[in-house]
């Protein structure tokens, strides 16, 4: 099944995993220690994140380390940018209205 990055970040556990490994690469066991779920459940989340290419695996000896693919996160940011511009415009308009109201009260 082909998944996209938005399916990957839809789950709060996967978002938490992304936050964990954004700071440093971690093994599945180290990641699982941060959750009240089984190692198998964490592995499933890691598989989905890997399929979406948000994380990459790197073998170091007998351990597999997962790290964040920062470039892939830029796709999310690019998609959000269009909405960020809309909200910034609305907030600027609201600031103007509030400023006008404040001046009228003086």
Mean pLDDT, the chain, whole residue set: 92
What is the pTM for the complete model shown?
0.77
Give the pLDDT confidence of 4-53 residue by residue, as tens digits: 889 899 999 999 999 999 999 999 999 999 999 899 999 999 999 999 99
Q: Give the helix ranges, DSSP H, for 1-106.
A: 5-9, 12-23, 28-32, 39-51, 70-105
Q: How many of the other CB atoms lie within 10 Å of CB of 83? A: 9
pLDDT bracket for residue 106 (50, 70, 90) = confident
Enumerate the domain spans of the chain: 5-105
8 Å CB contact between 40 and 30: no
Q: What is the CATH number of domain 5-105?
A: 1.10.10.10
């Amino acid at each position: 099944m082909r998944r996209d990055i938005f399916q990957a970040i839809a789950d709060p556990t996967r978002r938490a995993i992304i936050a964990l490994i954004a700071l440093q690469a971690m093994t599945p066991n180290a990641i699982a220690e941060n959750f009240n779920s089984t190692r198998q459940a964490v592995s499933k989340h890691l598989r989905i994140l890997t399929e979406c290419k948000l994380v990459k695996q790197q073998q170091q000896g007998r351990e597999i380390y997962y790290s964040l693919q920062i470039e892939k996160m830029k796709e999310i940011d690019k998609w959000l940018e269009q909405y960020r511009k809309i909200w910034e415009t609305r907030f600027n308009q609201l600031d103007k209205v509030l400023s006008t109201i404040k001046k009228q009260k003086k």
